[in-house]
Chains A and B, each alone.
Chain A
Amino acid sequence: MRLLSPKQAQRMAIGILGLATFAILSVLVFIIGFVLNKGLPVVSWAFLSEAPSDMGRAGGIFPILITTLLLPLLALAVAMPLGVGTAVYLAEYTRETRMTRIIRFGTDCLAGVPSILFGLFGFIFFVVMLGFGWSLLSGSLTLAIMVLPTLIRTSEEAIRTVPDAYREVSCSMGATRWQTVWRVILPNALPGIATGVMLSIGRCIGETAAVIFTAGSVLGRHVPSSLFDSSRTMAVHFYLLAREGISNEYAYGTAAVMILAVLMVNLVAYWMMHAFIRRRAR
């Protein structure tokens, strides 16, 4: 039974769909706005540059900031050669075979593992079995495995968009395959790869479950000085402040810094991707 004419049905549909989209966007704006509203007043130069005191009720988050910076960088130091190397192999050194399909399947599955399981694995493997203890080392190695699929995927895409003509030309000049990869293909794919790096950094900044069981949650007054030191990231600090009810105020402050960092990283990633696509199209 037709209640509405097609035009009326469409108007209603657009209304409902638009409302849904508006709802989604409002949530986004609300979250960011609310956290920044409550947290920015807390964020001062002192907050950013001082060490925490009194379990985080006072002082700043400087060592925590440094840890939050260090962990993704260390993770990338391990994950980038592995990720880009995998992408180079898949794109330049083989054709699609059963082996490459298995590799891709493994990569996709790894991408779907939830962070709590990374935390479990990192704990039993790096912290306990290999004896690294709760440390930057355990944390960064765990994060490296976590971001590996993202790096592989974005790097491979970036490498595949490099025009074949460049490969032919380089080869005809007497370059070995590796020379072509190193001198022409990778430099050309760099912006695409950098996008993947940015996305990975963003993921590491917000990661809690994988980090808390591997890098630990030591709240020190000093910046961690060795790979075997344990320390906490902003996400962990924020979680503990909130959960243990230590300081809502400083929790908001940490959250504000975290959100700003994530926003910035994602914006840079997005802008890089656009520059890359625009350059390709030329």
Chain B
Amino acid sequence: MKRIDEIIARPLLAAIAFSALASLLLIAVFILKEGLPFMARIGFRDFLGSSDWQPQEGHFGIFPMIVASLGVTLGAMAIGAPLGIAGAIFLCEFVPRPVMRTVKPAIELLAGIPSVVFGFLGVMVLAPLVRTHFGGPGLSLLTAAIILGIMVLPTVTSISADAIMAVPGAFREGALALGATRWQSVYMVILKAARSGIIASVILAMGRAIGETMAVIMVAGNTVRVPHSALDPVCTLTAKIAMEMASASGLHRQSLFAIGVVLFVVIMILNALAMTAIRSRKGASS
């Protein structure tokens, strides 16, 4: 006679194990349910290509916001990726282990600071600086890119550092034994070996940057117009959703879900890319 827990445990746990997958599917279904019919009705080309966003008059072109999201993300990566990777290299290769073990978690602490705090500091400290030194209104694509760049630093640094530390000691020793300086061993051997992990960290950071909402709302300026320069105020896809969600209804609300669909697809693609990069690294080193 089997005990109760033997009979129940396995099927119950199996069902529970699908909860994450089920949640993901639920999210996908509901966002698509609200957004896809809208996109079909308006037409993909009009939706994605038009620069005319006037919900009251039935115009839903999100092109300026696509440009804004892209611009802000690329700008953020231009700042965050080199800095983050540089920091990772420095901490892993040129600093004694105990120091690395205290500093790395400190950087990961940056990841815990709420995004609204970043946004606020962006408004209070960074925007005036940008306005003074670069001109423009201060709340701009540039400001948003800088703030986002800072926000993705912990992701890039942490994951790149993990990738660099995973490089087997034998690689390092091999290069050094040939007479290379530490720096030479880094750029000749280690960076190549850790390449897929570092790329994965950048892609993951991109995903986070594109999805960031609160900080961007506060510093980007929220003007729906294709920017002519980095100093122009912009409105990203995420900001648009967050700002108009509360007051939108009917077709307008559906349009916001449609933007959500675009975001969802882009981010899922980025995440899939990052995961393949990570998996290929695991495959190569095993």
Contact = CB atoms under 8 A, between A and B. Distances in A.
B5 interface: yes
B183 A89 contact: no
Interface residues of B, number: 86
Nearest to B149: A27
B176 interface: no
A207 B215 CA distance: 12
Given A13-B183, A258-B117, A117 B20 contact: no
Contacts of A270: 105
B243 to A, nearest CB: 10
Contacts of A239: 116, 119, 214
A107 B90 contact: no
Contacts of B275: 105, 108
Interface in B81-103: 82-84, 86-87, 89-91, 94, 103
Interface string A8-31: 011001101110110111011001
Interface stretch (A56-64, A160-168, A172-180, A223-231): A172-180
A90 B17 contact: yes
Nearest to A236: B116
Contacts of B229: none
Contacts, number: 243
Contact of B83 (A20, A113, A149): A20
Interface stretch (B41-49, B135-143, B256-264): B256-264
Contact of B184 (A6, A35, A113): A6
Interface of B, secondary structure class, is helix
A67 B20 CA distance: 25
A149 B20 CA distance: 7
A170 interface: no
Interface string B105-123: 1111110111111111101
A208 B105 contact: no
A109 B268 contact: yes
Contacts of B245: 119-120, 123, 213
B90 A89 contact: no
Contacts of B106: 25, 28
Interface in A67-88: 81-82, 85-86, 88
A261 B20 CA distance: 28
A76 to B, nearest CB: 14
Contacts of B247: none
Given A103-B18, A116-B242, A24 B157 contact: yes
Contacts of B260: 116-117, 120
A148 B20 contact: yes
Contact of B31 (A21, A105, A120): A120
B253 to A, nearest CB: 9
Nearest to A19: B86
Contacts of A28: 106-107, 109-110
Nearest to B19: A82
A90 B10 CA distance: 11
By Cβ-Cβ distance, the 8 closest A-B pairs, closest first, are A114-B211, A206-B114, A106-B21, A20-B86, A10-B183, A85-B16, A17-B90, A112-B271
Given A206-B114, A255-B120, 5 more contacts: A10-B184, A82-B19, A120-B245, A209-B213, A213-B245
24 contacts: A6-B181, A17-B94, A20-B83, A27-B150, A31-B117, A34-B125, A86-B17, A93-B9, A103-B17, A103-B20, A110-B21, A112-B270, A113-B24, A113-B264, A116-B242, A117-B264, A120-B257, A125-B30, A179-B5, A208-B115, A208-B116, A209-B213, A262-B112, A262-B114
